[in-house]
Amino acid sequence: MCIGLNCALGAVEMRPFIEAIGKCTTSYVICYPNAGLPNTFGGYDETPEVTAKHIRDFAVDGLVNIVGGCCGTTPAHIREIAEAVKHCKPRVPPSSVFEGHMQLSGLEPFRMGPYTNFVNIGERCNVAGSRRFAKLIMAGSYEDALTVAKAQVEMGAQILDINMDDGMLDGPRAMARFCNYIASEPDIAKVPLCIDSSNFDVIEAGLKCCQGKCIVNSISLKEGEEDFLAKARKIKQYGAAVVVMAFDEVGQATDSKTKVSICTRAYNLLVDKLKFNPNDIIFDPNILTIGTGMEEHDKYAIHFLEATKTIKDTLKGAKVSGGLSNLSFSFRGMDAIREAMHSVFLYHAIKIGMDMGIVNAGNLPVYDDIEKELLQLCEDIIWNKDPEATEKLLKYAQTTAKGGKKVIQTDEWRNGSVEERLEYALVKGIEKYVVEDTEEAKANKEKYPRPLHIIEGPLMNGMKVVGELFGAGKMFLPQVIKSARVMKKSVGYLIPFMEKEREEIKAATGSTAEDNPYQGTIVIATVKGDVHDIGKNIVGVVLGCNNFRVIDLGVMTPCDKILRAAIENKADIIGLSGLITPSLDEMIFVAKEMERLAIKLPLLIGGATTSRTHTAVKIAPRYSAPVIHCLDASKSVVVCSQLLDETVRDEFVEEVAEEYEDIRQEHYDTLKERRYLSLQQARDKGFHIDWLTHPRPVKPKFFGTRVFKNYDLEKLSQYIDWKPFFDVWQLRGKYPNRGFPKIFNDKTVGEEARKVYEDAQKLLQVLIRQRKFDARGILGIWPAQSVQDDILLYSEEHDLHSSEPIATFYGLRQQAEKDSASTDPYYCLSDFIAPLESGVRDYLGMFAVAIFGVEELSKAYENKGDDYNSIMVKALGDRLAEVNLEPGLGTFSWWC
């Protein structure tokens, strides 16, 4: 293969670029310069002898393999060049360049080597990780979404992670479209991209649109070696580097030994079978959540760090990456805690050998700047030095206010009723008195004749509060787990009494039937194709602690296994979980199978990638029994309880069905995705005026600006549009009584509208009489010409060919594709200004209007406690400002 340059430059100007190419490639180098730079008439003056001398210098210095000439060179030039280099040795390409480096690129090269600092991968161009980015992409505002990407580059992101995994998006199309938008912005396109998806079709769509060499995130062995190698082979064909997750056919690796084993297996497959460049392999050994309150999670950070060290020591050339947000997911909503944990973790991971990470680097505190107590707590939880680390970190977050003052803790809550004490204990996760309080409640036989009534009463009420707080982001996962422990302790105390009660009932009635001690049986599973289970496990813990029998089928669970387990265990509810986008399709399949087999059990949908909209639009219509989205662990208790309570079930299900119908309708109303013409196509279909045959624009009476003050408010008031005035007061008549003055006839709001209008008229007369407002305006008129979509302004009558504009307005042309039957043009404001090339002189006018005095008068009323007139002043000022142009600025008197 040969790489090089031709045209554009002469040999002298081309030399530094040829030298740079030679340093970067193992290929042959080609050079075809012009005969110097063109002269003012477009010709070339460099003689054959001069061109040949420069090129001979290239050859002598070992820079080139093939030489020739381009613009301005003649047969004489080529003969001289051939003669000049015939005794020179061709360049000997190096066997390797940047050995030991991962080489990536956007518009600019990016190399990672042994001495490269930690590489920040920007995380915000992710529809699952950034609400703002997701909102823009869902709305089709791809150009605005570029601002998210640009901000990350400006904050120091060296690679951009792009993820379009959402059930409501056409993933491949969205990925391709956004990558194409990035390609149009050099400030963003200069950095390499990381194409991130759990759907390989989305990855491939991104690879087809990427400039330079990017990273694929990710593939794994979860579907076996054949699938792994097939995807890796395609990635190699596209010339990309690859992230390999520490998953295999068994599931997600959680301990260091398994992480290393899976990564080593994947490395050997890639290097030995596909000859994949080891420097292009990145392993993600799974940064998992710590501080969940579950003991088996306590060493997850240590396992990652240990695996990272072993991978770097044993797998030559391989890099290590990871997504930091998972680490602190338990503390979501506590940004300061999360950022400190991330900073401390990175500090140690980088020292051990972690090369890169998906992280919002601009928000991380410097390790040495972290407050000492918080730093120690983060060290303890990451290295699992203290079994109470989670508890202490939570306490730190709860007792340290924004100003750093400690919140005084007391036992005042112990003075409340037993119901209040149980609720407080559940919400705060206090186990100390729960058995004592449960016993007190049990002793009140009049209020709680059966132990079950305590569970259904104060304990469930407390868990409902926990659920609401958790759902609102006011409680966090470790606290929910603590609440579940309190619940479990209370229920555990009551179970022997419940069993004794059942035995007594059996003896009294002679019944031999087994009583079910549980509220209900729930089968939960992570669906086929997905190995994520932390969230599901937490749901299982919370439900189990609330006296539900939980049948947990684990991860990668096929549909038939889920349905068989539900039938065999006489389940009351089925719960499906998933984290990656393909899981959504599997959930739809499970719902369709349940409908086909007439398994009419409530179906709960949960997991980070799920949403109410997807559940309502894509899953619920496939299944005639209740389908309910349930994202939060604690809310699952409330939902399951309502589904199994015959007194509220029907009403609850009906309410959810109505809500989902509204969501579906709203979704379908906004479903039409805009398609866009290219800019040139839109220009071709623009609004074209024949300026030579149309009447010439009238020359205005003046150029420049004029200011107008003290317009007559009495005259202005005659032009007021009152409909927006009533909108301010949220008074809207219903057909046929919409608008002014019909609103006065409306049965619901008519009377109040009339009162407000009368008050407005009284105040308006005061404003006019006392001249409380000053209506002002400014008018400007300038000579103007258009150039394509832009409008050029001039200070005075100008020479059409030599005058310089004083300002340029950059116009935006309509590009959203119109209906196929539409003949409407694709407008731009510049269409209405004569083009510079037409020779027709044109003009542009602008104005601004305002009512002065509104803010001061409104504030005066507010200071007197008269909010009504304070708002009334603003509403009237708004109406008067809108009509301020009517008497003068908006007339043609200034033009003719």
Assign 3-class secondary structure to 104-171. EECCCEEEECCCCCCEEEECCCECCCCHHHHHHHHCCCHHHHHHHHHHHHHCCCCEEEEECCCCCCCH
Tell me which H or E stretch contains 751: helix 750-770
642, 669, 696 - which closes a domain: 669
pLDDT in the model for residue 532: 67
pLDDT in the model for residue 403: 38
Let me know if residue 483 belongs to a domain.
Answer: yes
User: What are 239's two structure tokens?
Assistant: 């010339």
Distance CA 23, CA 89 (A): 18
pLDDT in the model for residue 472: 53
Query: Is position 533 annotated in a ligand binding site?
Result: yes
Residues 211 and 353 in one domain: yes
Higher pLDDT, 871 or 612: 612
Residues 529 and 488 in one domain: no
User: What is the DSSP secondary-structure string of 804-822?
Assistant: PPSEEEE-----BPPPTT-
Query: Is position 456 annotated in a ligand binding site?
Result: yes
pLDDT in the model for residue 407: 41
**Res. 294 pLDDT band, cuts 50 70 90:** confident
Residues 385 and 475 in one domain: no
pLDDT in the model for residue 816: 84
Furthest-apart CA atoms within the chain: distance in Å: 119
Helix, strand, coil percentages, rounded to 5, for the chain = 45, 15, 40
Mean pLDDT of 567-583: 89
CATH number of residue 740's parent domain: 1.10.288.10
pLDDT tens per residue across span 102-127: 999 999 889 888 777 788 898 889 99
Query: Is position 640 annotated in a ligand binding site?
Result: no
398 vs 408, 474, 892, CA distance in Å? 11, 11, 67
Query: Is position 514 annotated in a ligand binding site?
Result: no
Strands 774-787 and 704-708: antiparallel
Least confident of 259-268, 731-740, 808-817, 875-884: 731-740
560 vs 190, 472, 563, 569, 591, CA distance in Å? 49, 36, 5, 14, 12
Q: How far is CA 343 from the centre of its chain?
A: 22
pLDDT in the model for residue 77: 96
- In terms of average pLDDT, the best of 422-436, 528-542, 611-625, 704-718 is 611-625
Mean pLDDT of 746-773: 88
CATH number of residue 474's parent domain: 1.10.1240.10
Let me know if residue 223 belongs to a domain.
Answer: yes
Let me know if residue 156 belongs to a domain.
Answer: yes
pLDDT in the model for residue 211: 85
Query: Is position 799 annotated in a ligand binding site?
Result: no
Higher pLDDT, 797 or 495: 495
Distance CA 789, CA 835 (A): 10
pLDDT tens per residue across span 832-859: 999 999 989 999 999 888 999 998 998 8
669, 696, 727 - which closes a domain: 669
Residues 710 and 850 in one domain: yes
SS3 196: strand
Mean pLDDT of 882-887: 72
Residues 151 and 80 in one domain: no
Tell me which H or E stretch contains 103: strand 102-105
Residues 462 and 332 in one domain: no
Distance CA 326, CA 345 (A): 12
User: What are 719's two structure tokens?
Assistant: 């032009």
Distance CA 384, CA 390 (A): 10
Least confident of 158-172, 358-372, 379-393: 358-372
Residues 734 and 764 in one domain: yes
Higher pLDDT, 487 or 286: 286
Higher pLDDT, 739 or 15: 15
Ramachandran sector of residue 849 (left: φ over 0; alpha: ψ -120 to 50; beta: rest): beta
CA proximity to 875, closest of 778, 774, 759: 759
Query: Is position 819 annotated in a ligand binding site?
Result: no
855 vs 617, 703, 722, 878, CA distance in Å? 47, 33, 21, 11
How many CA atoms lie within 13 Å of 778's alpha carbon, on the beta-carbon side? 5
| pLDDT surpasses 80 at 392 | yes
Q: Provide the annotated active-site residues.
A: 530, 532, 583
**Res. 752 pLDDT band, cuts 50 70 90:** confident
Distance CA 637, CA 645 (A): 12
- In terms of average pLDDT, the best of 206-210, 481-485, 644-648, 776-780 is 206-210
Which residue has 């006019």 as its token pair? 768
Residues 733 and 640 in one domain: no
**Res. 374 pLDDT band, cuts 50 70 90:** very high
pLDDT in the model for residue 406: 42
478 vs 165, 275, 429, CA distance in Å? 28, 46, 9
Q: What angle do CA 563, 565, 569 make, to 5 degrees?
A: 125
Least confident of 80-84, 319-323, 681-685, 868-872: 868-872
Rg (CA), the chain: 36
Query: Is position 7 annotated in a ligand binding site?
Result: yes
Let me know if residue 94 belongs to a domain.
Answer: no
Query: Is position 530 annotated in a ligand binding site?
Result: yes
Residues 767 and 833 in one domain: yes
User: What are 354's two structure tokens?
Assistant: 């972690």
User: What are 356's two structure tokens?
Assistant: 């890169």
Q: What is the pTM of this model?
A: 0.58
pLDDT in the model for residue 795: 84
Any idea what DSSP says for residue 697? P
CATH number of residue 326's parent domain: 3.20.20.20
For 180-195, letters b (16+ CB in 10 Å) and e give ebbbebeebbbbbbbb
Query: Is position 752 annotated in a ligand binding site?
Result: no
Domain carrying residue 423: 412-509
Please state, rounded to an integer, the average pLDDT across all residues of the chain.
Answer: 87
CATH number of residue 572's parent domain: 3.40.50.280
Asked whether 845 and 780 are in contact (CB, 8 A), the reply is: yes
User: What are 675's two structure tokens?
Assistant: 């398609």
Query: Is position 733 annotated in a ligand binding site?
Result: no
Query: Is position 557 annotated in a ligand binding site?
Result: no
Q: How far is CA 625 from the centre of its chain?
A: 32
Peptide bond between residue 218 and the one before it cis (omega within 30 degrees of 0): yes
Let me know if residue 473 belongs to a domain.
Answer: yes
Residues 549 and 428 in one domain: no
Distance CA 596, CA 588 (A): 12
| pLDDT surpasses 60 at 892 | no
How many domains is the chain partitioned into structurally? 5
Let me know if residue 716 belongs to a domain.
Answer: yes
User: What is the DSSP secondary-structure string of 418-448?
Assistant: HHHHHHHHHHHT--TTHHHHHHHHHH-TTT-
Q: Name the percent of the chain lying above pLDDT 90.
A: 52
Query: Is position 515 annotated in a ligand binding site?
Result: no
| pLDDT surpasses 80 at 801 | no
Let me know if residue 693 belongs to a domain.
Answer: no
Residues 279 and 175 in one domain: yes
Q: What angle do CA 787, 793, 799 make, to 5 degrees?
A: 80
User: What are 641's two structure tokens?
Assistant: 């309880």
Distance CA 467, CA 461 (A): 10
Residues 776 and 796 in one domain: yes
Higher pLDDT, 519 or 542: 519
Mean pLDDT of 312-322: 95
pLDDT tens per residue across span 215-242: 999 999 999 999 999 999 999 999 999 9
pLDDT in the model for residue 404: 39
Give the alpha-carbon dihedral of 759, 765, 766, 767, to 10 degrees. 100
pLDDT in the model for residue 402: 44
Let me know if residue 234 belongs to a domain.
Answer: yes
872 vs 330, 418, 757, CA distance in Å? 48, 51, 10
pLDDT in the model for residue 116: 77
458, 484, 509 - which closes a domain: 509
Query: Is position 577 annotated in a ligand binding site?
Result: yes
